[in-house]
C-alpha cells in the first residue's frame, strides 16, 4: 500500500525538522514557539476535524461517505499528537501567553479564567472529552467489522450526536483559550466559529487529497467513485464559502464599530507587510478555491486536488495570521524556524495516519450502509 | 408535424433509470421523462447535455453584484455622501452584505425565470400529462418512433424487460397550445409591454428638482387637527396640550379621601357603605376572590392558600371574629390600600369589583361557622 514515501525519506525529513526546531529554540525561540503552537493546533485540528466529519455524517444519517470513513477515522489518531505539541508549548514556554508571564494582570472572572491552573485543567478536560468520544465512535465502527449487531450503529449515532454538541462548546472555548488569549485584551465571540471554519475546511482538503491518492493508486481503487469526489468537492466549496462568511462577519462588525480595543486586532494585521498577507489569506481560503471549484466538472478532475492544496496553504497562513502578530513584534517572516514545526507536523500526520489506516480494514465492511455508499447517484 | 410516441410507466426510480439507459444503448430517441420527484442520475441516463441554467445563474449573479456595487458607490460617494462614523464615503466593507444579497436575488430570480422560459411555462399554460399518475407515484419514459424498424413491439419489449407496469401509444399532433392558451399568451405579452411602457415613460419624464413632489393622500401626512405637542400662542401655556385645572376628576373615577392607615380604615368603615349587589355581581365577586385573594387566603378564607403552604406568613382567617366584626367599608379600605403583609389592590381591581369581593367575603363568613 502506497501511502507513505519510502521510510528513509520519512526518517530524513523528520530528522531535519527536529534539528530545525532544536536550532530554532536556541537561536530564535519566540518565532519557533509561535510556529510550534500553530503547527500543533493545526495538527490537532485535523484529528478533531476527522472526528467531526464522521460524527456529522452519523448524526444526520448520511450514508454517502460510509465507504471512505476509514480515512477520517485514521486521521483521528493524530489528535493526541497535536495535543502533545500543545502540551509542550504550555509546559516549556507558557510565557507565550502574556497573562501567564504576568505581563498582564486581570481581576475578577477574567483573572480566574486566565489563571494557569484553571487553563491547564480546562485543556485537559477538552482533550480528554475528545479522546473519549474518539475512542467510543471508532471502537463501535471497528466492532461493526466483526459483528452485524444493529446496536453498534445505534451507539455510533448516539455518540456522534452527543459529540457534535460537546465539540461545539469545547472547541469554541479551546480556541478562546489557546489562540485568542494570546491577545488577552481583545475578544470576539465569533472567534470559535471562525476557528471551526478553518479546522473543517482544512480537514476536508486533507480528506480529499487522501481519497484521491488512495483511490488512484492505493487500496481504495474501485471504491472511490466520481460521486464521492463530487460530493467532497461540494463540501470543500461550501465550507470555503462558510469560512469567508464567518471571516467577514467578524471583520465587518469590528470595522464598523471601530472601537479601539477591538480594532487593534485588525490594525496590527493590516500594518506594513502584514497587509499583503491579510488579503492573501482571503485569496487562498476563499477566492481561489471558489473560482476553481465553481464548475461541476472541476470537482471531478485535477482542479479538486489543486483547490485542496490551496486551501491547506490558506490554513497555514490563517493560523500564522492568528498567532504570529500576537507573539512576535515586527513584520512577517517565514523561514526555517517556521517551516520546521509545520514539516514535523506533516511527517507526524503521514506516519500516524498510515499506521492507523493499516490497522483496520480499509473499508468499513460491516457497516449496513456500505452498499448504499458504493452505489448511490449524486 | 405529428409524431408517434410510446410511453412506458414504471413503479420506481431504479426501473426508469435502467430503462432509460437501455433505451439509449438501443439507440431509441428519448423525448422526455416524467417523475414525481427529481431522480438522481436520470439526466445522465437520458443523455442530457449539462444544463446551461448555471450560466444564466453566473451571469445574472455577476450582473447583480456589479450593478449593486456601482449603485452603492454612486449613492454613497456621488449622489448623497453621508459621514458615517468618520469612515470614508467609498467603504467597501459596508457595501459587501447588500452586494451579496442583490447578487443572490438576481441569480435566483434569473435562474427561475430562465427555467420557466426554457420549459415554456407561463401563467395559464396547460400541459396535459401523458400519464397523470406521474404527479403521484408513476415514472414515465417517452420514446419517439423515428424510423420504421423501431417498432412499437420492440420498444414495448424493452420497457417490459425493465418492469414497466403499463405501455401506451400516443400521437402528438404538434399543437402545443389551444385557443384559450393563445389568448392568455397574448394577454401576457400585452401586460408585459404595458409595464415596460410605464417604466420607460417614468424614466423619460423630466423632473424639476425645485418643484416639490406630489403627496399621495396629503391629509395623512398633514393633519387638519392641531398636533398635541405643537406650540400654540393662543393659550397662556404656549402649547396645544393643556394642563387640567385643579380638582379635575377623570371621567368615571370616584376619588377616595383616605390614607393607608388603620385609623382611616376605621373611618372608611363608618363612612362608606356597600352598594346593592345581585346574584350575578356576587358570582363575579367569587371569581375575583379566587383569582386574587385565594392564593393567600385560601378558597374558604381560612388563610391556607398555596402561597402560605410554601412558607409565606399566613394571613388572619377571614372567618375569625375580628374579620367578621369589620364593617364593609373597612374591608373595602383594606382591599384598596393594603394592610400588614397584604399589598394594595386598587391598581389591579377597580372599585366596583372591589365592592363585589367585599360582598363575597361577607357570604363566605355567613356560610361557615367561626
Q: Which residue has the cell 462558510?
A: A242
**Structural domain contains residue B141:** yes
Q: Are B55 and B115 in contact (CB under 8 A)?
A: no
Q: How many CB atoms are located within 10 Å of the residue A5 CB?
A: 12
**Structural domain contains residue A71:** yes
Within 52-91 of A, beta carbons closer than 8 Å to B belong to: none
Q: How many CB atoms are located within 10 Å of the residue A18 CB?
A: 15
Give B135's Cβ-side CA count (13 Å radius): 5
* Confidence bin at B149 (pLDDT 50/70/90): low
> Looking at the complex, does the CB of residue A365 fall below 8 Å from at least one CB of chain B?
no
**Structural domain contains residue B200:** no
pLDDT of residue B273: 85
SS3 B169: strand
Residues of chain A positioned with their CB less than 8 A from the CB of B97: 252
Q: Where are the alpha helices (DSSP H) in chain B?
A: 13-25, 42-46, 53-73, 92-118, 152-161, 179-204, 218-221, 262-271, 279-288, 294-297, 306-309, 321-325, 328-337, 351-367
User: B131, B157, B177 — which closes off a domain?
Assistant: B177
Record: contact B40-A378, CB cut-off 8 A: yes
Distance from C-alpha of B34 to C-alpha of B21, rounded to nearest angstrom: 15
* Whole-number CA gyration radius for chain A: 21
> Looking at the complex, does the CB of residue A291 fall below 8 Å from at least one CB of chain B?
no
Least confident of A340-344, A355-359, B229-233: B229-233
pLDDT of residue B370: 58
For residues A245-261, give the mean pLDDT: 93
Record: contact B40-A248, CB cut-off 8 A: no
* Nearest CB partner across the interface for B93, out of A255, A295, A378: A255
B178: Cβ contacts below 8 Å, ≥ 6 apart: B126
* Confidence bin at B21 (pLDDT 50/70/90): very high
Distance from C-alpha of A351 to C-alpha of A346, rounded to nearest angstrom: 9
Q: Are A173 and A113 in contact (CB under 8 A)?
A: no
Selection from A220, A161, A193, A177 nearest residue A2 by Cα: A220
C-alpha cell at position A8:
528513509
Residues of chain A positioned with their CB less than 8 A from the CB of B39: 377
> Looking at the complex, does the CB of residue A248 fall below 8 Å from at least one CB of chain B?
yes
Strand partners, B32: B142
**Number of domain units in chain B:** 2
For residues A207-215, give the mean pLDDT: 94
Within 192-211 of A, beta carbons closer than 8 Å to B belong to: none
Do B284 and B168 share a structural domain?
no
What is the pTM assigned to this prediction?
Answer: 0.72
**Structural domain contains residue B204:** no
C-alpha cell at position A172:
469554541
Residues of chain B positioned with their CB less than 8 A from the CB of A296: 50, 54
Record: contact B54-A256, CB cut-off 8 A: no
Q: Mean pLDDT across chain A, nearest whole number?
A: 93
Do B269 and B156 share a structural domain?
no
Record: contact B50-A296, CB cut-off 8 A: yes
> Looking at the complex, does the CB of residue B90 fall below 8 Å from at least one CB of chain A?
no
Q: Is the pLDDT confidence value at B37 over 70?
A: yes
Measuring CA to CA, how many Å separate A289 from each of A233, A241, B27?
Answer: 10, 9, 40
Least confident of A170-174, A177-181, B14-18, B267-271: B267-271
> Looking at the complex, does the CB of residue B58 fall below 8 Å from at least one CB of chain A?
yes
For residues A323-342, give the mean pLDDT: 92
Which residue did the predictor score with more confidence, B1 or A104? A104
Do B143 and B44 share a structural domain?
yes
Which of A255, A266, A295, A375 should be substituted to probe chain B, the one whose Cβ sees the most B Cβ atoms within 10 Å?
A255
**Structural domain contains residue A38:** yes
For residues B106-117, give the mean pLDDT: 95
C-alpha cell at position B108:
435566483
pLDDT of residue A266: 95
pLDDT in tens, B42-97: 988 898 888 889 999 999 999 999 999 999 999 999 998 888 878 889 999 999 99
Record: contact A377-B41, CB cut-off 8 A: yes
> Looking at the complex, does the CB of residue B41 fall below 8 Å from at least one CB of chain A?
yes
**Number of domain units in chain A:** 1
pLDDT in tens, A275-289: 999 999 999 999 999
Distance from CA of A246 to the nearest CA of B (A): 12
Strands B3-10 and B139-144: antiparallel
Q: Are B158 and B23 in contact (CB under 8 A)?
A: yes
Strand partners, B5: B144, B170
In sign, the C-alpha dihedral spanning B9, B12, B13, B18 is negative
Q: Specify whether the backbone of B85 is left (phi greater than 0), alpha (psi in -120 to 50) or beta.
A: left
**Structural domain contains residue B145:** yes
Cα separation of the two ends of chain A = 29
Residues of chain B positioned with their CB less than 8 A from the CB of A246: none
Do B307 and B159 share a structural domain?
no
pLDDT of residue B175: 56
> Looking at the complex, does the CB of residue B50 fall below 8 Å from at least one CB of chain A?
yes
Residues of chain B positioned with their CB less than 8 A from the CB of A256: 85, 93-94
pLDDT of residue B156: 87
Asked if this assembly's ipTM is beyond 0.90, the reply is no
For residues B240-261, give the mean pLDDT: 84
Record: contact A256-B93, CB cut-off 8 A: yes
Distance from CA of A226 to the nearest CA of B (A): 12
Residues of chain A positioned with their CB less than 8 A from the CB of B40: 376-378
Q: Is the pLDDT confidence value at A37 over 80?
A: yes
Record: contact A255-B97, CB cut-off 8 A: no
Q: Which residue has the cell 384559450?
A: B180
| Domain extent at residue B132 | 3-177
Q: Which chain B residue lies closest to A297 (C-alpha atoms)?
A: B50
Strand partners, B168: B7
SS3 B8: strand
Strand partners, B342: B339
**For position B288, which CATH number holds?**
1.10.760.10
Residues of chain B positioned with their CB less than 8 A from the CB of A248: 93, 96
Do B150 and B26 share a structural domain?
yes
User: B117, B151, B177 — which closes off a domain?
Assistant: B177
Which of B55, B87, B93, B99 should be substituted to probe chain A, the one whose Cβ sees the most A Cβ atoms within 10 Å?
B93
Do B154 and B25 share a structural domain?
yes
Residues of chain B positioned with their CB less than 8 A from the CB of A258: 85-87
In sign, the C-alpha dihedral spanning A253, A258, A261, A265 is positive
Q: Are A190 and A250 in contact (CB under 8 A)?
A: yes
Residues of chain B positioned with their CB less than 8 A from the CB of A278: none
* Confidence bin at A311 (pLDDT 50/70/90): very high
* Confidence bin at A1 (pLDDT 50/70/90): very low
* Nearest CB partner across the interface for A252, out of B54, B58, B96: B96
**Structural domain contains residue B80:** yes
Q: How many CB atoms are located within 10 Å of the residue A178 CB?
A: 23
Distance from CA of A53 to the nearest CA of B (A): 24
> What does the H/E/C string look like for A293-342?
HCCHHHHHCHHHHHHHHHHHHHHHHHHHHHHHHHHCCCCCCCCHHHHHHH
Q: Are A21 and A13 in contact (CB under 8 A)?
A: no
**Structural domain contains residue B19:** yes
Q: Are A32 and A340 in contact (CB under 8 A)?
A: yes
pLDDT in tens, A19-32: 999 999 999 999 99
Angle at which helices A191-216 and A151-178 pack, to 10 degrees? 130
Residues of chain A positioned with their CB less than 8 A from the CB of B94: 252, 256
| Domain extent at residue A265 | 7-366
In sign, the C-alpha dihedral spanning A355, A133, A87, A190 is positive
> Looking at the complex, does the CB of residue B94 fall below 8 Å from at least one CB of chain A?
yes
Amino acid at each position: 500500500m502506497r501511502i507513505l514515501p519510502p521510510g528513509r525519506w520519512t526518517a530524513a525529513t523528520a530528522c531535519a525538522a527536529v534539528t530545525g526546531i532544536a536550532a530554532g529554540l536556541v537561536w530564535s525561540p519566540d518565532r519557533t514557539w509561535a510556529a510550534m503552537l500553530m503547527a500543533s493546533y493545526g495538527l490537532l485540528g485535523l484529528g478533531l476535524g476527522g472526528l467531526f466529519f464522521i460524527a456529522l455524517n452519523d448524526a444526520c444519517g448520511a450514508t454517502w461517505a460510509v465507504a471512505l470513513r476509514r480515512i477520517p477515522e485514521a486521521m483521528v489518531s493524530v489528535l493526541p499528537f497535536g495535543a502533545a505539541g500543545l502540551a509542550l508549548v504550555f509546559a516549556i514556554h507558557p510565557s507565550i501567553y502574556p497573562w501567564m508571564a504576568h505581563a498582564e494582570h486581570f481581576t475578577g472572572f477574567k483573572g480566574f479564567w486566565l489563571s494557569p491552573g484553571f487553563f491547564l485543567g480546562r485543556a485537559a478536560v477538552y482533550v480528554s472529552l475528545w479522546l473519549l468520544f474518539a475512542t467510543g465512535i471508532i471502537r463501535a465502527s471497528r466492532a461493526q467489522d466483526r459483528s452485524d449487531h444493529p446496536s453498534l450503529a445505534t451507539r455510533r449515532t448516539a455518540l456522534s450526536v452527543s459529540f457534535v454538541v460537546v465539540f461545539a462548546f469545547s472547541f469554541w472555548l479551546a480556541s478562546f483559550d489557546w489562540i485568542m488569549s494570546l491577545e488577552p485584551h481583545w475578544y470576539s465571540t465569533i472567534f470559535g466559529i471562525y476557528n471551526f471554519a478553518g479546522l473543517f475546511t482544512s480537514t476536508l482538503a486533507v480528506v480529499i487529497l487522501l481519497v484521491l491518492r488512495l483511490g488512484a493508486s492505493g487500496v481504495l481503487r474501485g471504491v472511490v467513485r466520481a460521486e464521492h469526489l463530487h460530493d467532497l468537492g461540494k463540501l470543500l466549496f461550501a465550507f470555503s464559502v462558510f469560512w469567508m462568511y464567518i471571516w467577514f462577519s467578524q471583520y465587518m462588525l469590528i470595522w464598523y464599530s471601530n472601537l479601539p480595543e477591538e480594532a487593534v486586532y485588525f490594525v496590527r494585521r493590516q500594518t506594513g507587510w502584514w497587509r499583503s498577507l491579510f488579503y492573501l489569506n482571503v485569496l487562498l481560503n476563499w477566492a481561489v478555491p471558489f473560482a476553481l471549484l465553481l464548475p461541476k466538472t472541476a470537482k471531478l478532475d485535477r482542479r479538486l486536488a489543486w483547490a485542496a492544496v490551496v486551501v491547506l496553504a490558506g490554513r497555514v497562513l490563517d493560523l500564522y495570521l492568528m498567532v504570529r502578530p500576537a507573539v512576535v513584534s515586527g513584520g512577517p517572516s517565514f523561514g526555517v524556524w517556521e517551516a520546521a514545526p509545520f514539516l514535523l507536523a506533516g511527517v507526524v500526520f503521514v506516519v500516524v495516519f498510515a499506521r492507523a489506516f493499516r490497522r483496520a480494514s480499509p473499508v468499513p465492511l460491516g457497516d449496513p450502509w456500505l452498499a448504499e455508499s458504493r452505489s448511490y447517484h449524486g | 408535424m405529428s409524431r408517434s410516441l410510446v410511453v412506458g410507466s414504471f413503479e420506481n426510480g431504479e426501473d426508469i433509470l435502467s430503462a432509460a439507459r437501455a433505451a439509449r444503448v438501443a439507440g431509441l430517441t428519448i423525448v422526455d421523462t416524467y417523475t414525481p420527484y427529481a431522480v438522481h442520475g436520470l439526466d445522465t441516463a437520458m443523455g442530457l447535455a449539462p444544463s446551461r441554467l448555471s450560466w444564466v445563474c453566473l451571469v445574472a449573479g455577476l450582473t447583480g453584484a456589479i450593478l449593486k456595487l456601482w449603485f452603492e458607490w454612486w449613492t454613497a460617494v456621488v449622489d448623497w455622501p453621508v459621514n458615517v462614523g468618520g469612515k470614508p464615503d467609498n467603504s467597501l466593507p459596508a457595501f459587501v452584505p447588500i452586494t451579496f444579497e442583490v447578487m443572490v436575488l438576481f441569480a435566483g430570480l434569473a435562474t427561475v425565470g430562465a427555467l420557466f422560459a426554457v420549459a415554456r411555462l407561463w401563467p395559464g399554460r396547460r400541459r396535459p400529462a401523458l400519464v397523470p399518475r406521474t404527479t403521484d407515484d408513476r415514472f414515465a419514459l417517452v420514446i419517439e418512433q423515428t424510423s420504421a424498424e423501431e417498432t412499437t413491439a420492440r420498444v414495448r419489449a424493452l420497457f417490459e424487460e425493465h418492469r414497466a407496469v403499463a405501455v401506451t401509444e400516443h400521437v402528438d399532433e404538434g399543437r402545443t397550445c389551444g385557443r384559450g392558451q393563445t389568448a392568455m399568451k397574448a394577454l401576457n405579452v400585452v401586460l408585459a409591454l404595458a409595464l415596460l411602457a410605464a417604466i420607460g415613460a417614468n424614466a423619460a419624464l423630466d423632473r424639476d428638482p425645485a418643484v416639490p413632489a406630489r403627496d399621495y393622500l396629503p391629509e395623512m401626512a398633514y393633519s387638519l387637527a392641531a398636533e398635541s405637542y405643537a406650540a400654540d400662542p393662543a393659550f397662556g401655556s404656549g402649547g396645544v396640550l393643556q394642563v387640567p385645572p385643579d380638582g379635575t376628576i377623570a371621567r368615571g373615577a370616584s376619588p377616595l379621601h383616605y390614607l393607608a392607615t388603620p385609623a382611616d380604615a376605621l373611618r372608611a368603615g363608618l363612612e362608606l357603605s356597600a352598594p346593592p349587589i345581585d346574584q350575578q355581581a356576587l358570582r363575579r365577586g367569587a371569581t375575583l376572590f379566587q383569582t386574587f385573594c385565594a392564593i393567600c387566603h385560601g378558597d374558604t378564607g381560612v388563610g391556607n392558600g398555596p402561597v402560605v403552604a410554601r412558607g409565606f406568613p399566613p394571613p388572619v382567617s377571614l372567618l375569625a371574629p375580628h374579620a367578621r366584626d369589620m364593617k364593609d367599608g373597612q374591608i373595602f379600605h383594606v382591599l384598596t390600600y393594603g394592610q400588614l403583609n397584604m399589598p394594595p389592590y386598587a391598581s389591579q381591581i377597580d372599585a366596583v369589583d372591589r365592592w363585589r369581593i367585599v360582598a363575597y367575603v361577607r357570604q363566605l363568613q355567613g356560610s361557615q361557622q367561626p
